Structure 1
Amino acid sequence: MRVFRLPERPEQHRTSGAQILALLGFLALALLVGAVGGTATVPNVHSWYDVLPHPPGTPPDWVFGPVWTLLYIAMAVAAWLIWRGPDILTRQRRALRLWGWQLAANALWSPVFFALHRPDISFFVILVLDGLIVMTIAVFRPVSRIAAALMVPYLAWCLYATYLNAGFWFLNR
């Protein structure tokens, strides 16, 4: 009788085609969240956002698109590195679940801030997002230090966005 064993390094048993499809899937998901955020943002930039008093250090509008695109790509690659890690067992599943939750919180922020015009509520959304990113980095690190490192610029940008969100809330009460 033969006993079934999980391979010690499953990524070696995944075809390169499956790995490419997985990477494309993570990229598509992350960039889709960015596109959804953009649909909530773009119609409100010139009609609402631009007329608000801005906190000091607010970057020009053109900065946001390229920065967020790079951050979504880095997030996707980080998740893919976790997915292809050495043991797609409990540790990776937990890490990818957290990655999904932070992506969901990310997707929620733009509609709340821009479409609903609620810097107050979006501030609490972004605090939750910040916490989820920190937790994601913490569970990514034991699996892949590179994946964890890819999430650090995203955390830094979100902390900066938290400052901006708080400033908009304070200045526009």
Structure 2
Amino acid sequence: MESPEGKTIQSYPHLIAAVLFCIIAGSVGSLVTITGPGSWYADLAKPFFTPPGWVFGPVWITLFTLMGIALYLVWQSGTEKPEVKKAIALFCVQFVFNIAWSFLFFGLRSPLLGLIDILILWFLIAATIAAFYRVNRTAAYLLVPYIAWVTLATALNGAIYLMNP
């Protein structure tokens, strides 16, 4: 069935599923910080460009929503296509590194392991953007705010590592 805008109505559940997947999966990493990062994080020396704590929640919800929409656009391009399979696989791998960062940085209290993870994550996001671009340019553009935020987070993580020997 077609809607007036020409979109298949049956595809809306897929869009909702993709967005919810990203929000729920992305929230797994926050379980480590559910009670707050505690005094360990509060006591760390941090660079001047550290955003206030209240910024992180809204930013991540927005990014996970954009990631879900991007995933949906690629998924709708046909999962039988090799380039779509590769793009979705890269997306899933980078998501594992995204989730792992909270456990490494906050759970293990290791800025070094967090830094190693987030550097790998950054390159995986870049590869995912390139793979998405080959399938659906809009999907790739939707990931630009994500890599921008992770770039800031990488600088923040690196500075924290250097400032807290």
Which is greater in Rg? 1
Contact 1:44/1:114, CA 8 A, preserved across alignment: no
Q: CA RMSD in A?
A: 1.6
- Residue in 2 aligned with 1:162? 154
SS at match of 2:160: helix
- Residue in 2 aligned with 1:36? 28
1:16 aligns with 2:6: no
* Aligned positions of 1:71-86 closer than 5 A: 71-85=63-77
Contact 1:130/1:158, CA 8 A, preserved across alignment: yes
Could you report, residue by residue, the CA deviation over 1:127-169 in whole angstroms, capped at 9, with x for unpaired residues? 1100100000101112111100000110010011000000111
The CA distance in 2 between the partners of 1:67 and 1:155, in whole Å, is: 12
SS at match of 2:45: coil
Alpha-carbon offset, residue 52 of structure 1: 0.9
The CA distance in 1 between the partners of 2:15 and 2:105, in whole Å, is: 30
1:123 aligns with 2:140: no
The CA distance in 2 between the partners of 1:152 and 1:33, in whole Å, is: 20
The alignment covers a number of residue pairs equal to 159
Provide structure 2 residue ranges, at least 5 long, that are not aligned to the other structure: 1-6
Q: Could you tell which deviates more after superposition, 38-47 or 104-113? A: 38-47
Alpha-carbon offset, residue 44 of structure 1: 4.4
4+ residue runs over 6 A deviation: none
The CA distance in 2 between the partners of 1:170 and 1:90, in whole Å, is: 42
SS at match of 1:16: coil
- Residue in 2 aligned with 1:100? 92
Contact 1:44/1:115, CA 8 A, preserved across alignment: no
AA aligned to 1:115 is G
- Residue in 2 aligned with 1:140? 132
The CA distance in 1 between the partners of 2:16 and 2:40, in whole Å, is: 35
Could you report, residue by residue, the CA deviation over 1:104-130 in whole angstroms, capped at 9, with x for unpaired residues? 110100111011100001101001100
Alpha-carbon offset, residue 47 of structure 1: 2.4
- Residue in 2 aligned with 1:6? none
Could you report, residue by residue, the CA deviation over 1:17-54 in whole angstroms, capped at 9, with x for unpaired residues? 2x222222211221112321221123342322111111
- Residue in 1 aligned with 2:51? 59
Percent identity for Structure 1 against Structure 2: 38
Provide structure 1 residue ranges, at least 5 long, that are not aligned to the other structure: 1-13
Residues 87 and 34 of structure 1: CA distance in aligned 2, closer, same or farther (over 3 Å): closer
Give the TM-score of the pair, scaled to structure 2. Answer: 0.90
